[in-house]
Amino acid sequence: MAKQEKTCTTPKKTVICISGLAGTGKSTLSKKLAKKYRLRYYSGGDVLKELAKQEGYDVSVQGWWESPQGLKFLNERVNDPKFDKEVDDKLLEYAQQGNVLLDSWTMPWLLEAGFKIWLEASFERRAARVAVRDGMTAAQAVEVLKEKEARTKAIYKALYGFVLGEDFKPFDFVLDTDNLSAEEVFVVLCRVIDTVVISVPGV
């Protein structure tokens, strides 16, 4: 007889925030966790992409944020905070409803409630992952990430006063993913969420 999979009882107001710089696997992992725990998934990056699309950008390219178009829109955001403010207002609205998993760089600082996870990885490891993911050379990935992250950090420093990737005060759990596979990261986070956030019968 097949072993029955345990179902997760998620408190109605559950809010989980997952953050991590490019190449940590946060978006793929966030979607997988949202599905497992039956949480509605919202991505700050996806909302920003939708705004970029409305501005006339073609966001269909794989690895769009690291593309020339993505960097151009990033520069537009540096000069005008309206895009980021609109995204953050929308994510805060979703968080108020509960039963959500937010894939976001800003929510851990802007939300008082919720369980906040940061995925850490070395710059070298992240650049290598981005190079494979987006089909670029290692040298190209290094240059693109340096430019993208410097501008992104400038946006959030100016808007909210925190330094992305350096200030870990809001986080309940920080996981170094350098020497872990995507599946191992998923298993670790499931154990943490089961223990701290979710009530799982029989555990």
Distances (CA, A) of 106 to 7, 43, 55: 30, 11, 22
The CATH number of the structural domain formed by 15-196 is 3.40.50.300
Bridge partners of residue 175, in order along the sequence = 119
Euclidean distance between the first and the last CA atom of the chain, given in angstroms as a whole number: 21
pLDDT by residue for the chain (203 residues), tens only, comes to 444 444 455 556 899 999 999 999 999 999 999 999 999 999 999 999 999 999 999 999 888 888 889 989 998 998 898 999 999 999 999 999 999 999 999 999 999 989 999 999 999 999 999 999 888 999 999 999 999 999 999 999 999 999 999 999 999 999 999 999 999 999 999 999 999 987 644 33
173-176 vs 115-120, strand pairing mode: parallel
Q: Which residues contact 55 (CB under 8 A, 6 or more apart)?
A: 73, 76
Domain ranges in the chain are 15-196
Give the number of other Cβ atoms within 10 Å of residue 58's Cβ.
Answer: 10
Q: What is the DSSP letter of 200?
A: -
Amino acid identity for residue 161 in this structure: G
CA separation for the pair 73, 183 (Å, rounded): 33
Q: What is the pTM of this model?
A: 0.87
